[in-house]
Amino acid sequence: MRISKEELKTLMKNKIQKAGLTEEHANGVADVLVHADARGVHSHGAMRVEYYAERIANGGINAHPNFQFDKTGPSSAVFDGDNGAGHVAAKLAMDEAIKMAKENGVAVVGVKRISHSGSLSYFVQQAAKENLIGLSVCQSDPMVVPFGGAESYYGTNPIAFSAPGENNEFITFDMATTVQAWGKILHARSKEEEIPDDWAVDENGEPTTNPFDVKSLTPIAGPKGYGLMMMVDVLSGILLGLPFGNKVSSMYHDLSEGRNLGQLHIVINPEYFTNLNEFKKNIAKTMADLNNIKPASGFDHVSYPGQRSAEREKKYSEQGIEIVDDVYNYLISDKVHNNAYNNKDPFAK
């Protein structure tokens, strides 16, 4: 079904607030979630609300965190999220990184002890909207076989980047370092759809098209994705003194405990390296050049990174956001959650 962006955000905010977050923090979480749904990334949108609500209600997301921002140098800092809502902590940390980059040209801000923070494109676009370049990486729980391995070690460990062009347009990408994000498997399950056979493997390590048979995900481009996973884990885990690799906490294990996840924001001020207007002009030229590339067989055009998501956002703002009926029915129900996630096997059917 379709629902307006404003109504969807209000429903999510109300449910999260009912679970125990303050109105301010519930609004912050809902803002990041509706951003994902509006861009068609439903795996990180409304379908996550019930999980967050259950974790909040169980105390695994601190409803009243004591956020601390420790500036460790002219261009470096650590933001301690006290296991509060990751969406809120990551947003506030990016706000601080933006201030530092405007003052000193570059900012590197580690965000530690947070819960799941949702779609990273939200945070890098915070920077792009301020005429800055944003880069963000985040660790996640182990559910990916390393290249050549038969058991999970790293998480989907996403990377996101955004840079400003002209006319309030951005070139953006937000990707898991797996062939596909786990949330996309969940989305396929919710719609009872098959998945491509290169997304994941079953309990025997064999490729599967059944999302309910998935037991581990696969790295993008084999050893290359494996290397990127390692890099993200170092930058957002080991660098911040947090659990790393297969020691990263599970999304579903004991929802009464904080997850202690890590994230890293890097923000670059183009004015410290080149003329800002020229930079934005060249980003816009890059976007146009890519659109004008001769398309390959089977394609009608070439999109620049993030273009299709931006087009969906515009479309959904006019026509409403499409969400599955089960998610909508949960959002309008009186239930805070259905006790569906605590100590759940992440790959359970």
Our answer to whether residue 265 is catalytic in this structure is no
Q: Measured between alpha carbons, how far is 257 from 331 in angstroms, rounded to an integer?
A: 25
CA count, 13 A, side-chain hemisphere, 109: 32
Q: Measured between alpha carbons, how far is 339 from 55 in angstroms, rounded to an integer?
A: 10
The DSSP 8-state label assigned to residue 294 in this structure reads: P
Q: Measured between alpha carbons, how far is 178 from 199 in angstroms, rounded to an integer?
A: 8
DSSP codes, 128-168 = HTTT-EEEEEE---S-BPPTT-SS--B----EEEEEE-STT
Residue type, 268: I
Nearest to 274 by CA among 194, 173, 164, 184: 164
In the block, tokens 């002219």 appear at: 74
User: What is the distance of C-alpha 190 from the center of its chain?
Assistant: 19
247 phi and psi, to 5 degrees?
A: -95, -5
Annotated catalytic residue within 25, 35, 87, 116: 116
CA count, 13 A, side-chain hemisphere, 252: 15
Beta strand extents in the chain (DSSP E only)? 2-3, 68-73, 76-80, 106-114, 133-138, 159-164, 170-175, 200-201, 216-217, 261-268, 321-322
In the block, tokens 């945070």 appear at: 123
Angle between helical axes of 325-332 and 49-58 (0-180°, round to 10): 40
- Sequence length of the chain is 349
Q: Which residues are catalytic?
A: 116
